[in-house]
A and B are shown apart, each in its own frame.
Chain A
C-alpha cells in the first residue's frame, strides 16, 4: 500500500518560473491538504480539499493554486515562484470524522523546493 506519494522530492526553480507539485493517495481519502514547513514555524496549511471538485484556502494560500478533479490526486501549482516559497512541502490526507473534523492524517515524504 503506497499511501501518500509526492513528486518530485527535490526541485530547484528560478524566480518567476511555474511548476506543479504532485500528490496522489491510494486510500480513498476524501480530505487532502498541502502544508509548507519552514524552520522554527512549524507546518502551515496552504490549501485543502474535502472531495473532488471542492477546494478551500488555508492559512497561507497566496501564490499557490490547487484543483481536485479526482479523489486520488491533489496537485499544488506555484504560479510564479518567489524566493519566499523556498520550503519543504507536505501533502496529507485523511477520512473526515463527524462534522468534517480531521481524522488521523497520513503524510507524504515531502518535496523540497528551492527558488533562486
Chain B
C-alpha cells in the first residue's frame, strides 16, 4: 500500500524567496504523482502531474521532480509571492492500484510580504 508523507507540515518564507516542498512515497512502482494546491475552504486545484517515465514537469514558476529510486518528489516554487500562500498536497498512484491516489497530509505555505 502506497504511503505518502509531506514534511514539514507548515512553512513560512519571506516574499521573493525560492523554496522547495518535499513529498516522500514508499512504493517505488509509482504510476504517476500529482501536486495540488488548496486554498482555505476550497477544493484542490491540480498544479502538475508527472508520469513515472518523466523526471520533471514545469509550469510557470513551478517545477516538480520525481525520483522513483529514492521515493521522493519535490515542488520548486521560484520567486515566491504572497498569492502562493496555500496548502500544497502531493498524491501518488501505484502501478498495482493505478485507479487510487494516496494523498499526503500537505504542507501549509505562508509567504510573508
Q: Footprint of A on B, CB under 8 Å?
A: 4, 31-32, 34, 36, 41-46, 49, 89, 91, 93, 95, 98-101, 103-106
Contacts and interface: CB of A to CB of B under 8 A. Distances in A.
Majority SS of interface residues in chain B?
strand
Contacts, number: 66
Nearest to B52: A101
A50 interface: yes
A108 B38 CA distance: 11
B100 A45 contact: yes
A59 B43 contact: no
A48 B100 CA distance: 8
Interface residues on A, range: 20 to 34
A99 B93 CA distance: 12
A42 B99 contact: no
Given A42-B105, A43-B89, A102-B32, A90 B99 contact: no
B100 A58 contact: yes
A104 B105 contact: no
B99 A50 contact: yes
- 5 closest Cβ contacts across the A-B interface? A107-B43, A101-B98, A42-B103, A43-B103, A42-B105
A96 B101 CA distance: 12
B31 A110 contact: no
Contact of A99 (B36, B49, B89, B98): B98
Nearest to B47: A104
Contact of B99 (A40, A43, A48, A109): A48
